[in-house]
Structure 1
Amino acid sequence: MKNVEDIIVKEDTSIWEVLQIIDKSSKQIALVIDKNKKLLGTINDGDIRRALLNNISLNEAVKNIYFKTPTIATINNSKEEIINICRTKKIYQIPIVDDEGNLIGLEILDELISKKTKTNKVILMVGGLGTRLRPLTENTPKPMLKVGNKPILETIVEKFAEYGYINIVMCVNYKSHIIQDYFGDGKEFGVNIEYVLEKQRMGTAGALSLLKEKPTESFFVMNGDLLTNVNFEHLHDFHIANNSIGTMCVREYDFQVPYGVVNIDGTKILSIEEKPTHKFFVSAGIYMLSPEVLQYIPKNKFYDMPTLFEKLINKKQNIISFPLREYWLDIGRMEEYKKANEEYDEVF
């Protein structure tokens, strides 16, 4: 059972402070207690992300966003009973309390049972031309450019394997032999790799129509020119918990207008905002999809993810966003490539 002193918070603790606590801990959860150490509830990464999407300030207290009726176990429950509770409730951490409800510790399911690899497929889109990174990409596909003395794609594979996702499909096109010669069947990297050859460019969603074996459970799709340390298990859990057919990782993007913005009604000036900053959520190039999404993708046709999600919206399917606050960098231009090399050792 885990010691929980490093993840204990109070109702008046700010969301920002809790965020720091969760990030620093490997337990991926914080426990809310009162002054007598009685367990009041829990707060996790998903609770904070939902708060961010609802425009709740990070400076606010967690009082209104934490989960107040968590599943618990007592010091009298056996290991087998605790495992059964976790599996039945589909939870991965469970607080342990005494007979008075006072917090004792935390059990983590993965540590109660032998850790297993996941069967979910990871589909990596690595067929792009990388024209904006020429001349670096004249003889090398962009995902194979080295950042931190290894190809970008190798870091992506390692990060998925770290979370137990080892069944990888690479959709290749431009100079595909370089990728295939380097990774082979994946055994050297602790994963299983299959390849789908795009004879023509298919877009970030169109290549899914070429899969030899259609996934039977939720699967990842990710662009092969990204560096991120997002927790893929959190993304997976978020997708399942929200009963989503398609989950898109989104990143907040700020844009400052370099002029004073004049708000008018007809000819009348209502107000003037000096160099306002506008905030948007943009696609981060990482997705988790349920198998039924595949029916909406045309075969042998160029088709991008934004088009797919627009179709799912029109079909009134349940699609959701997963806001990224972890490190993320799209290596599309030379300045981003240089930045990735400067930051790699510190981040990874």
Structure 2
Amino acid sequence: MRAFILAGGLGTRLHPPTYYIPKSLILISGRPIIEYIIEHLRGHSISEVVLCTTRAYSRDFKHYLANRDLGVRITYSIGSRRLETSGRLLAAKRYADDTFIVYYGDILTRLDLTDMIRFHRRKGAIATIALNAATPIDKGLACLDSDGRVTLFREKPVLEGFLVNMGLYVFEPAVIDYCRPERDIAAHTIPEMIDAGLPVFGYVVRQPFYDIGTFKSLEEVKKVFERER
């Protein structure tokens, strides 16, 4: 099975480092994010990775990965810097000839991919979304009554009852029919498939995942990984 790693975003919230390298090459405990992702995929029998990126970023990835044997075959799909996530997938459509995984290049998780793939096939899904049921938020929340009196106050609660998109999917090739260059997978492609009545399912987990999108989240992830060393 192939996995498509989306690694073409500009990473504007992590400037200035991402002026010079793609976000997936930022180091955590001495290793780049991309290595953790590929290691996770390899551990679930993924034998080929399609790295969906830009021409400039592809040079960075090739330079870094050239002398490393990560146990998978790596293919590069090159697209414009302006492409959204759906567009990156569309640019790589020639590789989407069977069930495949889509993995955002700025997340880290230990989700059981093998079980997620089994779930996807058992449901006969066109798309399965990894959803987290225990995501904490970094703000305090409050509820008021009609008089303005505080009836509930929680500091940085876990979002119980809400499911958070983890940026990890199992897709069938037919998903490509709903991809457009200027569109986003989460904002456009998946909602369109749901509206069309297609079988889109959610695979729910509670273990933590890490979205390395800001300096704050990056530092938090570094602390977690340092503790686990």
Structure 2 stretches of 5 or more lacking a match?
A: none
Matched, 1:282 2:164: yes
Matched, 1:162 2:40: no
Q: Give the letter for the 1:164 counterpart.
A: S
Aligned pair partner of 1:181 in 63, 67, 86: 63
Overall identity of the aligned pairs, in %: 24
Question: C-alpha separation between the residues in 2 aligned to 1:325 and 1:193?
Answer: 30
Question: C-alpha separation between the residues in 2 aligned to 1:140 and 1:187?
Answer: 18
SS in 2 for 1:335: helix
Question: C-alpha separation between the residues in 2 aligned to 1:260 and 1:315?
Answer: 36
- 2:177 corresponds to which residue? 295
Within-5 A mapping of 1:4-83: none
SS in 2 for 1:206: helix
- Is the CA contact 1:127–1:201 (under 8 Å) kept in the aligned structure 2? no
Return the offset for 1:341.
1.3
SS in 2 for 1:237: helix
Question: C-alpha separation between the residues in 1 aligned to 2:179 and 2:31?
Answer: 34
- 1:134 corresponds to which residue? 15
- Is the CA contact 1:261–1:275 (under 8 Å) kept in the aligned structure 2? no
Matched, 1:226 2:110: no
- 2:4 corresponds to which residue? 123
Return the offset for 1:288.
0.5
Question: C-alpha separation between the residues in 2 aligned to 1:236 and 1:334?
Answer: 32
Question: C-alpha separation between the residues in 1 aligned to 2:219 and 2:136?
Answer: 21
Structure 1 stretches of 5 or more lacking a match?
A: 1-119, 264-268
Q: Give the letter for the 2:174 counterpart.
A: E
Question: C-alpha separation between the residues in 1 aligned to 2:92 and 2:211?
Answer: 25
SS in 1 for 2:190: helix
- 1:207 corresponds to which residue? 88
Question: C-alpha separation between the residues in 1 aligned to 2:32 and 2:212?
Answer: 12
Question: C-alpha separation between the residues in 2 aligned to 1:341 and 1:329?
Answer: 10
Larger Rg: 1
- 1:262 corresponds to which residue? 145
- 1:217 corresponds to which residue? 98
Question: C-alpha separation between the residues in 1 aligned to 2:81 and 2:218?
Answer: 26
Question: C-alpha separation between the residues in 2 aligned to 1:258 and 1:217?
Answer: 44
CA RMSD of aligned residues (A): 2.3
- Change beyond 3 A, Cα 1:281–1:197: same
Return the offset for 1:283.
0.9
- 1:58 corresponds to which residue? none
Matched, 1:305 2:192: no
TM-score (norm 1): 0.58
Aligned pair partner of 2:222 in 326, 341, 348: 341
Return the offset for 1:149.
0.5
Per-residue CA deviation, residues 216-264 of structure 1 (Å, 9 max, x unaligned), is: 321000110111111110111111111111011112345676444225x
Q: Give the letter for the 1:150 counterpart.
A: R
Question: C-alpha separation between the residues in 2 aligned to 1:302 and 1:343?
Answer: 35
Per-residue CA deviation, residues 38-69 of structure 1 (Å, 9 max, x unaligned), is: xxxxxxxxxxxxxxxxxxxxxxxxxxxxxxxx
TM-score (norm 2): 0.87
- Is the CA contact 2:130–2:205 (under 8 Å) kept in the aligned structure 1? yes
Q: Give the letter for the 1:153 counterpart.
A: I
SS in 1 for 2:163: strand
- 2:127 corresponds to which residue? 246
